[in-house]
Structure 1
């Protein structure tokens, strides 16, 4: 006899009837996720200006390079490689590396929430997430780690969003230093500072 491996279909009518009771918490959770994803996206976009400076080009050209690389990791790798050939100031190089590392840490939380399935209880509250990633060990392969969306996890989202706000300010503070170093050094060497 055939036995389906599909999970049971949710009782959507029951969930819709119960949802108003959990609306405040659900709205809070969704607002946290929205703030986190918006902050992350703004930070990632600021790396266009880092690319612009390191490539000694204009904003539109840097945006083309940025958009052509289809992953955040590829964009950050390019920035790190360019930094090795463009930045001779060790303190500035270290500051950029630290910013990239901090951003990469926040990316883990963002990716976890952006690439998961949300699990609701019978009252319509979001209680867990199930990762859409394969978890591979030496001896097994399993799909989708399930994690509680509990108070501890909500606090992690708040901390990550707060850290991303700090990262944003720190990138803005780094940009003029980076520009002065890269473009100022290029002018001293008689190199073009921008490509028309």
Structure 2
């Protein structure tokens, strides 16, 4: 008989029996991941308003353009390209770039926790994550990095949630200043010049 390459099936009865003792830890982890996804999604959606102002269109039209682009990277790339030709205030332009860079940093951790497999130990504690990405090194190709979901990692998620909340407030503060800057500015032929 050939040995299986599959992991051992969990003892679900033992996990269910042990789970009440570790529920607080699981609740903390799941709450943080939920908060991260919630804040990240709200921030991504706020970029619709940035796009609306840059394109000088209504919210529905901006949302259609936004949704037509099927990745966050493509959406932010469009916003940054439009900003280069529409925003003449260098400080305002740099502020938008900084917010987008910080949002992208948060995107990495959000993607990590949205696209992984969670390992639960025999007491029901979520103990590790395994990335769903292939990791290629000079000498090997392996499936997904395994990381412990320890206190340091929980702190990292907590900080990412706080950062997403700060970014949200900054985008809300940025929007009226962008609107004022773009209000009466007519595009010129110089807008497309480097």
TM-score w.r.t. structure 2 length?
Answer: 0.94
CA distance in 1, matches of 2:137, 2:177: 44
CA distance in 2, matches of 1:74, 1:89: 24
- Deviation of 1:139 after TM superposition, in Å, equals 2.6
CA distance in 1, matches of 2:61, 2:183: 16
CA distance in 1, matches of 2:90, 2:181: 11
CA distance in 1, matches of 2:184, 2:7: 61
- Deviation of 1:4 after TM superposition, in Å, equals 1.7
- Deviation of 1:180 after TM superposition, in Å, equals 1.2
Q: Secondary structure at the match of 2:21?
A: helix
Q: Secondary structure at the match of 1:123?
A: coil
In the other structure, the counterpart of 2:180 is: 180
CA distance in 1, matches of 2:139, 2:69: 34
Q: Secondary structure at the match of 2:123?
A: coil
In the other structure, the counterpart of 2:111 is: 111
Q: How many residues align?
A: 188
- Deviation of 1:113 after TM superposition, in Å, equals 0.4
Q: Equivalences for 1:157-168 in 2 at 5 Å?
A: 157-168=157-168
In the other structure, the counterpart of 1:25 is: 25
- Deviation of 1:136 after TM superposition, in Å, equals 1.3
Unaligned runs of 5+ in 1: 191-196
In the other structure, the counterpart of 1:152 is: 152
- Deviation of 1:18 after TM superposition, in Å, equals 0.9
In the other structure, the counterpart of 2:191 is: none
CA distance in 2, matches of 1:137, 1:57: 46
TM-score w.r.t. structure 1 length?
Answer: 0.93
* Alignment of 1:142 onto 2:142: yes
In the other structure, the counterpart of 1:193 is: none
* Runs (4+) off by over 6 Å: none
CA distance in 2, matches of 1:106, 1:72: 12
In the other structure, the counterpart of 2:67 is: 67
Q: Secondary structure at the match of 1:138?
A: coil
CA distance in 2, matches of 1:111, 1:70: 15
| Alpha-carbon displacement from aligned partner over 1:35-84 (angstroms, at most 9, x marks no partner) | 11101110000000001011110100110111111111111111111111
CA distance in 1, matches of 2:51, 2:33: 28
* Alignment of 1:102 onto 2:102: yes
- Deviation of 1:135 after TM superposition, in Å, equals 0.6
* Alignment of 1:6 onto 2:45: no
Q: Secondary structure at the match of 2:183?
A: helix
Unaligned runs of 5+ in 2: 189-194
CA distance in 2, matches of 1:74, 1:140: 30
CA distance in 1, matches of 2:74, 2:8: 39
